[in-house]
Amino acid sequence: MNAIPAQHPRLVVIGNGMAGMRTVEEILARAPGKFQITVFGAEPHPNYNRIMLSPVLAGEKTFDDIVINSREWYAENGIELIAGEKVVSVDRESRLVMGEFGTTRPYDRLLIATGSDPFIIPVPGRDLPGVVTFRDMADVDAMLDACGVGGSAVVIGGGLLGLEAANGLAVNGMKTTVLHLMPTLMERQLDTVAGGMLKADLEARGLTVMCGADTAEILGTERVTGVRLKDGQEIAADLVVMAVGIRPNSTLGRAIGLDCKRGILVDDTMRTSDPFIYSVGECVEHRGVCYGLVAPLWDMARVAADHLTGVADSLYIPAVSGTRLKVTGIEMFSAGDFIGGEGAEVVEFRDPSRGLYRRLVLREERVAGVVLYGEAEDAGWYFTLLKDAQELGTLRHTAIFGQSVALAASGAPAKDPKAALAALPDSAEICGCNGVCKGKILTAIAEKGLTTLDDVRAHTKASASCGSCTPQVEGLISLALGDGYQAAGEKPMCKCTTHGHDFVRKEIVSQGIKTMPGVMNRLGWKTADGCHHCRPALNYYLLCAWPGEYQDDAQSRFVNERNHANIQKDGTYSVIPRMWGGVTNAAELRAIADVVDKYDIPTVKVTGGQRIDLLGVQREKLPEVWADLNAAGMVSGHAYAKGLRTVKTCVGSEWCRFGTQDSTGMGIKLERMTWGSWHPHKVKLAVSGCPRNCAEATIKDFGVVAVDSGWELHIAGNGGIHLRGTDFLCKVTTEEEVLEYCGAFLQLYREEARYLDRTAPWVERVGLDYVKARIVDDAEGRRTLHERFLYSQKFMQIDPWAERAPGAEAAQPFTSLQPAE
Amino acid sequence: MIDIGTLSDIPRQGARVVKTAQGDIAVFRTLDDTVFALEDRCPHKGGPLSQGIIHGKGVACPLHSWVIDLASGEAQGPDHGCAKRFAVELRDGRLWLALSAAQEAA
Ligand code: SRM
Ligand SMILES: Cc1cc2nc3c(=O)[nH]c(=O)nc-3n(C[C@H](O)[C@H](O)[C@H](O)COP(=O)(O)OP(=O)(O)OC[C@H]3O[C@@H](n4cnc5c(N)ncnc54)[C@H](O)[C@@H]3O)c2cc1C
Ligand code: SF4
Ligand code: FES
């Protein structure tokens, strides 16, 4: 025996990943100082949340965001971290661990947590440069590097990992194709209906998905150039990602003679065949099962820690776990036996127009499996029914409609999220990503005096990953602190919520929430259907976040936007047709005159926005008035919209003796590009042909002033309650540049301002320098903002008046109910 | 009572107007499909309540955002005033509206 006797027993951990470090955390929680701990990690990083690599790839998080324990944490806890050195052998006789660079450490107890390896299909070309896997940060860096060059990518494997990789690559601008061997995507988590919906959703985002695609060969000589399928088809690719599955990494365990099958064999206490060696995570095989999700690891870590410290005699009991796909904007959840079969009943709910699908598999009146697609707010509720194997009883016929409907119908008291949280046992898991239970959160709040969500995230990791448990975590904080708790420190949007605008916007995007009930459920709204303050704001945030997908909610629009006209003090409306750049002609004027005569319109006025206002129209008459104006080629002027109003122009170089550029033409082009766009508040543009500025461009949200050598761009002016002159943004030379800068600026405002902030207060809040950095200095960022603006416009530039033509379904709200005879 | 149509003629969280000899009556349908009827005139300055945003069991008037309780017709919060109520009920899949104001009838 050549081991040096130590004051404390030595624990060496091999594998600086999620299961290994979680076990270390559990050990510290039970018996701090019991072991002298050394951790070897093959990766050169402190430990990080592997499941969040997908959001890092998609650009939604940075590496720093996903670090679980920083290097300081290791130091503070007296843990020696040897990162970047792989362990190559273990001398079990003398209990000594050896690293690839010669570092040795003796141990009294050894913990092996080497995770798993991506499976590489054995086809020719698999070793070519440009073929990568998706397992660690180095893989993500390799993919992001490839995205920097651009081109096309092929992802082999249409399971969770493959689809998250494909989405990330597509978001980064790669033309991406997914090759999947099976007939439907994610067949291990989804039935064929949900798998089909997923395929359609991914295709709608521009991905190409080929099912039944069997890879024969990876093509290329120097580096990868494509993939050939068994049926002979070839797909060009500059990058190939293999994501067909994982294999337990039991290499080291096998090499040192531990009993292994697919994984390192462990008993119910997580001990291997060597009594001094424990093993946890994806590298183990427990009762014939290997795991590939984090939830089981938390249990393994607890059990291993109990036995290593000797504080308790627990046993590892496998439990079901659920799966979610972390592709922003696609909501799905699956758990348990979702296919069914003999002795099972299947209940399904489908609403194709809203893209919703739910499937429950019942056995003996209990939930045995669930698939949710399109909306997954109720995942937690279904998962609890599944885990508790609770007999459904009165919920049997309504469970498929979701928690609120089912509980209401069963006569149970309406869902009170706070009471439900209070009733949970301390052991109830709140955060699935990080395995944090209720008791731990409450203890941390009490002991450490935590008061904000960020504090709790920092101290417990709860809600620090995918964020879908944020409402429960906030609920616990407010349970603990009472009304003293204010979410995220920001002023609440309204009385229905503790959250502020910025927080809500961020969660809508990061959690991919696509419906208003979804926002209210997930973020813990206190009212069933919000109020007249929050609903219009949420409607706008959803519309802005999910162009083409979110269904505008007319009932959450203020009267003017719902009726597409401005209500007047006597309940009549005013109608303002668009007059592009303030230019009209005889035919339009004649049509307007005819409408005035035909409908007996009492007042015709020229507005301050260079167009004509028809005041005093009865609501029932609106569709007819619009139809007549439409017939003459005129569309809504959106004089009522939190959106693009007018583009004022002056005559410019066409006629004016001082004009330097065609300001009228420029204004018309701007209006053609921007009409129909919805914004946090109204937006007004103007173009003047010279610095005399007859169009008053320097009090507009976006003002353009022509000079001999080009165009000066001005932003954030306001002629309203608080007069504010614009800030000078920059000067450009071409009309195309004016359009691009304008689109980019408006999109930045659309995406980042709070509802009811006009550009002036918004720019004052974020600072002119910030806007310049985003719009002027960052050419690439400007281009993508502009592209997003144009993309959204594809869905916005539909004349709301034409949609409400007399007789059309959308015209119904304008008519009165007719009593039956 | 008169038959004014079916529940689905009114959008959820929305309202429709019935023109009667007594003036316009707004018939509201809430999120949970409860139906209420009020005179379509805000007690403040006569705004058409049928055009407001409906939430919970209240409507925010489109002109100056008073919130009117649909069940009682009373303005909520610090504001005072009351819109006339009318009885409305769902029977055999049809909506029936009473043409005399509820206060007077009661
Ligand atoms: C019709 C018009 C007055 C006119 O007869 O000229 C008008 C009418 C109203 N304005 Fe205006 N504004 C009109 C041009 C303006 C202008 C001048 C301009 O656009 O160049 C301004 C100052 C410029 C600016 O916006 O910075 C203007 C600043 C406002 C404001 C103050 C906004 C602010 O940011 O401080 C309000 C109040 C608000 O929006 O909350 C307002 C609100 C209104 C409302 C919507 C009040 C209301 O809520 O009912 C009025 C609706 C009347 C109606 O139903 O048509 N109106 N309003 C003008 C319509 C222009 C058009 O063609 O669309
Ligand atoms: C992109 C991605 C997304 C995922 N998404 C989800 C999800 O949404 N939900 C979910 O539940 N799960 C998800 N997973 C799975 C989850 O990340 C794993 O279940 C979990 O990380 C397994 O933990 P582990 O500690 O066993 O392995 P790991 O976290 O892989 O840790 C093993 C570590 O050991 C190191 N190592 C290996 N051999 C040696 C050696 N000889 N010497 C030193 N160090 C060594 C490795 O470098 C690695 O750092 C995802 C995985 C990936 C890759
Ligand atoms: S200034 Fe504008 S808001 Fe005021 S009365 Fe005139 S039109 Fe109405
Ligand atoms: S008229 Fe209803 S609030 Fe003023």
**For ligand 1, is residue A576 a contact (CB within 6 Å)?**
yes
Residue B44 placed within a domain: yes
Q: Which structural domains are found in chain A, ordered by start? A: 10-116+248-309 (3.50.50.60), 131-244 (3.50.50.60), 501-557 (no CATH), 560-631 (3.90.480.10), 644-796 (3.30.413.10)
Distance A638 CA to ligand 3 centre (A): 17
A550 vs A433, residue with greater confidence: A550
Confidence of residue A417 (pLDDT cuts 50, 70, 90): low
Mean per-residue pLDDT, A718-746:
95
- Helix (H), strand (E) counts: chain A: 27, 36
Which amino acid type is present at position A631?
A: A
Based on its alpha-carbon atoms, the radius of gyration of chain A, rounded to whole angstroms, reads 31
By C-alpha distance, which of B27, B48, B50 is closest to A568?
B48
ipTM: 0.69
Distance between B68 CA and the closest CA of chain A, angstroms: 12
Residue B39 placed within a domain: yes
Which structural domain, as residue segments, surrounds residue B41? 2-100
Distance between B50 CA and the closest CA of chain A, angstroms: 10
Which residues touch A322 (CB under 8 Å, ≥6 apart)? Answer: A295, A333, A334, A335, A336, A379, A383, A432
- Residues A579, A581, A583: CA angle, nearest 5 degrees: 60
Ligand 4 atom with the smallest distance to the CA of B65 is 3
In this structure, what DSSP letter does residue A678 have? B
Cβ <8 Å between B14 and A555? yes
Give the pair of three-digit tokens for residue A689. 């042909």
**For ligand 1, is residue A718 a contact (CB within 6 Å)?**
yes
C-alpha separations of A65 from A55, A69, A297, A450, A454 in Å: 10, 11, 21, 20, 13
Binding residues of A: 650, 656, 690, 694
Note the pLDDT tens digit of each residue in A426-474: 877 788 777 788 999 999 988 888 888 878 887 888 887 766 677 788 8
Helices (H), A599-734: 622-631, 663-674
Residue A77 has pLDDT above 60, yes or no: yes
Amino acid A411: pLDDT: 63
Mutation pick for ligand 2 pocket among A114, A144, A254, A290 (CB with most ligand atoms within 8 Å): A114
Cβ <8 Å between A559 and B52? yes
Cβ <8 Å between A555 and B53? yes
A373 vs A330, residue with greater confidence: A373
Strands A175-180 and A208-211: parallel
Residue B78 placed within a domain: yes
Strands A612-617 and A603-606: antiparallel
Residue A320 has pLDDT above 90, yes or no: no
Residue B90 placed within a domain: yes
Confidence of residue B105 (pLDDT cuts 50, 70, 90): very low
Amino acid B106: pLDDT: 36
Q: In what order do the strands lie in the sheet with A702-707?
A: A644-649, A683-688, A702-707, A710-715, A727-732
Torsion of CA A677, A681, A686, A691, to 10 degrees: -140
By C-alpha distance, which of A80, A94, A96, A93 is closest to A41?
A80
B1 vs A432, residue with greater confidence: B1
Asked whether A713 and A727 are in contact (CB, 8 A), the reply is: no
Residue B23 placed within a domain: yes
Which of A530, A531, A813 is closest, CB to CB, to B11?
A813
Q: Which residue of B has its CA nearest to A404?
A: B32
Note the pLDDT tens digit of each residue in A766-799: 999 999 999 999 999 999 999 999 999 999 999 9
Mean per-residue pLDDT, A334-347:
85
Distance between B80 CA and the closest CA of chain A, angstroms: 19
Amino acid A421: pLDDT: 78
Q: Which residue of A has its CA nearest to B58?
A: A531
CB-based burial of residue A153 (10 Å sphere; 0-12 exposed, 13-18 middle, 19+ buried)? buried
Q: In whole numbers, what is the pLDDT of chain A averaged over residues?
A: 91
Question: Count of domains in chain B?
Answer: 1
- Helix (H), strand (E) counts: chain B: 1, 9
- B 2-31: CB under 8 A from A: 2-5, 9-14, 16-20, 24, 27, 30-31
Mean per-residue pLDDT, B6-19:
94
Helix, coil or strand: residue A270: coil
Cβ <8 Å between A527 and B56? yes
Instruction: Tell me the CATH number at B61.
Output: 2.102.10.10
Distance CA A14, CA A252 (A): 10
Note the pLDDT tens digit of each residue in A148-197: 888 999 999 999 999 999 999 998 989 999 999 999 999 988 888 889 98
Confidence of residue A3 (pLDDT cuts 50, 70, 90): very low
| Percent of chain A whose predicted confidence (pLDDT) is above 70 | 96
Which residues touch A589 (CB under 8 Å, ≥6 apart)? Answer: none
Amino acid A786: pLDDT: 98
Residue B106 placed within a domain: no
Residue A479 has pLDDT above 60, yes or no: yes
Angle between helices A470-481 and A453-460 (to 10 degrees): 110
Distance between B86 CA and the closest CA of chain A, angstroms: 15
Residue B105 placed within a domain: no
Q: Does A568 touch chain B (CB under 8 A)?
A: no
Asked whether A703 and A726 are in contact (CB, 8 A), the reply is: yes
Residue A652 has pLDDT above 80, yes or no: yes
Note the pLDDT tens digit of each residue in A100-129: 999 999 999 999 999 999 999 999 999 999
Cβ <8 Å between A532 and B55? yes
Amino acid A405: pLDDT: 74
Asked whether A632 and A591 are in contact (CB, 8 A), the reply is: yes
E strand residue ranges, A485-584: 566-567, 573-575
Note the pLDDT tens digit of each residue in A516-542: 999 998 898 988 899 999 999 999 999
Which residues touch A602 (CB under 8 Å, ≥6 apart)? Answer: A615, A616
Amino acid A494: pLDDT: 87
Long-range contacts, A349-356 (Cβ 8 Å, 24+)? A349/A400, A349/A401, A350/A193, A354/A515, A354/A551, A355/A197, A355/A201
Amino acid B93: pLDDT: 85
Residue B91 placed within a domain: yes
Amino acid A486: pLDDT: 57
pTM exceeds 0.90, yes or no: no
Residue A586, φ and ψ in degrees, nearest 5:
-60, -40
In this structure, what DSSP letter does residue A643 have? B
Q: Does A144 touch chain B (CB under 8 A)?
A: no
